[in-house]
Structure 1
Amino acid sequence: MSEIMNTPMTPAAPAAAPAGGVLLQPSRGRVIAITSGKGGVGKTFLSANLAAALTRRGLRVLVLDADLGLANLDVVLNLYPKLTLHDVFTGKCALDDAILKAPGGFSVLLAGSGMVEYSRLTPEVRDDFLRLMEQVVPRYDVVLLDTGAGISDVVLFTLSLASEILLVATPEPTSLTDAYATIKVLATQQGRQQVRLVVNQAVRPGDGRAITAQLQAVLNRFVGAALGGERSAGGAAVRLIHMGDIPVDKAVKEAVMRRQLLLLHTPGCPAALAVGQIAGRLVDTVLKAIA
């Protein structure tokens, strides 16, 4: 999107008080979807390490691998599941049998990889997901949905199950373009009034705030027109909330290659500390009632 690349990057203004998002499923206020417009930006890395950081704060956390076609949460966590979400959906096992305890103390429900039958949002897939969410959400303080990348019908349906969207992007132009497209769809098709943004692989302090301001300006200009003048409480078509940056850190690659959580492999490195700060902001703004 040329409009993104041509918008100057300026420091973001101080955020206004959080505006209430559109809860598509009001009973699921503890569900946070972690997504991205482009693959390969660290979405699953953040899902796993954020779960560990929230668990350290005393919360009961489940990470649900909702990328049914290209699941890789098991690789990040070095787990070898005998039973997966596919077995739950097909009735081959009970839900409790498929939930595993991950390194870091949180629970995971893993999905099999390469399952073509889950590449489209069929009525069966939709019903399976809804039944699953009804069972798992009451059992945990927070459920993190590690979704697929992009704006397929399966990904968008998964996002509709969450009360909060945590979008992961990198400073690269392709990632920012796809992030913009994702936010636009969430605003125009799902009525989202706010999206939380994490910038991964930030090179300089302040990169994330500048990127957030840049994307916000483009959204105000183009998505506002598409919505016919509708605005959130903060005056924008859709409000971006900068949740933090994760800096470029060689410890991340080392942890990924070792298939270990960064918070366990190198807990004091800059990237691990940044994930901990993001977890703190989530607790303060989204999960404070149960923390």
Structure 2
Amino acid sequence: MSEAPTPSIPRPSGPSAKVLAVTSGKGGVGKTFVSANLAAALAKRGHRVLVLDADLGLANLDVVLNLHPKITLHDVFTGRAQLDQAIIAAPGGFSVLLAGSGMVEYSRLTPEVRNEFLQVLHSIMPRYDVVILDTGAGISDVVLFAVSLASEVLLVATPEPTSLTDAYAAVKVLAMQQKRTQIRMIVNQTARAGDGRAITGQLQQVIDRFVVPGAGRPIRLLHLGDIPADPAVRDGVMRRQLLLVNTPGSPAALAIGQLANKLDEVVLRRSTV
């Protein structure tokens, strides 16, 4: 099977959003939780943020945020609604563009889906400072396409061996197919301080040994931060409440705030100077 070329986005003139892809090798590691709460933390710092539910066909951002959209990306793609009608406000001070769940036609990356997605992203980029793509898990063509549109990749993993094995697989594909030279790691549900940095280092050693760089340079995993295991997270997910809004003083919420600070410093502010 031939490798699909990485699409190029026509860049709008003037200021344009920084596009971040939040992805994971394995499902169930808290990727959408991270996307939503990181958006709230960045919005609190004064950024205009939109989260685009790029998990086409298996979307669940609406569930996490307890939103009930009447219009979704599906309606925009099919011409039944305008883009502005599908963008809605979320708790936490940011905007969301939600996808419809159970849409079988979005399980494959067709030329139509590719073109519609590119058009939507091109339209929203001038309106925001940050666009977060909450992708699906794994290495399907739809996931890889969404990740290819981002200038920065945030890979979410947990300390579980299955999560790390799948994270390695995702890094390998991104290095070889998309010629990525760096990926930022977020380790969720850590038990002790420092666990995430150690895990990132161990994964880097495996990558250095077994992954042939696609861009002629070895891929670097940059440890962005950890989110500790915290009962407030599960409670918030079950209640469909945003952690940073309802329990901003919880350990996990404070950790996400630190992630936002670091992103602000090393990615967002750097891109505006």
Structure 2: which amino acid aligns with 1:106? Answer: F
Post-superposition, which runs of at least 4 consecutive aligned residues in structure 1 deviate over 6 A?
Answer: none
Q: After superposition, give the CA deviation of every residue in 1:160-215 in whole Å (9 maximum; x if it has no partner).
A: 00000000000000000000000000000100000000000001111111011001
Report what 2:255 is aligned to.
Answer: 274
- Conserved? CA contact 1:119–1:154, under 8 Å: yes
Report what 2:86 is aligned to.
Answer: 98
Q: State the distance in 2 between where 1:112 and 1:264 align.
A: 25
| Structure 2 counterpart of 1:55, from 5, 19, 43 | 43
Compute the displacement of 1:29 (Å).
Answer: 6.2
Report what 1:253 is aligned to.
Answer: 234
Q: Indicate the SS of the match to 1:136.
A: helix
Q: State the distance in 2 between where 1:23 and 1:242 align.
A: 27
Q: Kindly tell me: are residues 111 and 187 of structure 1, through their superposed partners in 2, closer, same or farther at Cα, counting changes over 3 Å?
A: same
Q: State the distance in 1 between where 2:178 and 2:40 align.
A: 30
- Conserved? CA contact 2:213–2:219, under 8 Å: no
Q: Kindly tell me: are residues 213 and 29 of structure 1, through their superposed partners in 2, closer, same or farther at Cα, counting changes over 3 Å?
A: farther
Instruction: Please list every run of 5 or more consecutive structure 2 residues that lacks an aligned counterpart in the other structure.
Output: 1-5
1:285 matches 2:266: yes
Compute the displacement of 1:68 (Å).
Answer: 1.0
Report what 2:62 is aligned to.
Answer: 74
Report what 2:18 is aligned to.
Answer: 30
Q: Kindly tell me: are residues 188 and 26 of structure 1, through their superposed partners in 2, closer, same or farther at Cα, counting changes over 3 Å?
A: farther
Report the count of equivalent residues.
263
- Conserved? CA contact 1:25–1:162, under 8 Å: no
Compute the displacement of 1:115 (Å).
Answer: 0.3
Compute the displacement of 1:66 (Å).
Answer: 0.4
Compute the displacement of 1:51 (Å).
Answer: 0.3
Q: Kindly tell me: are residues 190 and 24 of structure 1, through their superposed partners in 2, closer, same or farther at Cα, counting changes over 3 Å?
A: farther
Q: State the distance in 2 between where 1:167 and 1:39 align.
A: 12
Q: State the distance in 2 between where 1:206 and 1:260 align.
A: 28
Q: Indicate the SS of the match to 1:287.
A: helix
Q: Indicate the SS of the match to 1:256.
A: helix
- Taking structure 1 as the reference length, the TM-score comes to 0.87
- Conserved? CA contact 2:157–2:164, under 8 Å: yes
Report what 1:177 is aligned to.
Answer: 165
Q: State the distance in 1 between where 2:214 and 2:155 align.
A: 25
Structure 1: which amino acid aligns with 2:259? Answer: I
Q: Kindly tell me: are residues 29 and 181 of structure 1, through their superposed partners in 2, closer, same or farther at Cα, counting changes over 3 Å?
A: farther
Q: State the distance in 1 between where 2:188 and 2:215 align.
A: 32
- Conserved? CA contact 2:21–2:133, under 8 Å: yes
Compute the displacement of 1:69 (Å).
Answer: 1.4
Report what 2:3 is aligned to.
Answer: none
Give the alignment's Cα RMSD to 1 decimal: 1.8
Q: State the distance in 2 between where 1:75 and 1:122 align.
A: 26
Q: State the distance in 2 between where 1:121 and 1:66 align.
A: 12
| Structure 1 counterpart of 2:115, from 127, 132, 135 | 127
- Taking structure 2 as the reference length, the TM-score comes to 0.93
Compute the displacement of 1:103 (Å).
Answer: 0.4
- Conserved? CA contact 1:25–1:163, under 8 Å: no
Q: State the distance in 2 between where 1:209 and 1:66 align.
A: 28
Q: State the distance in 2 between where 1:41 and 1:220 align.
A: 24
Structure 2: which amino acid aligns with 1:212? Answer: T
Identical positions, percent: 71
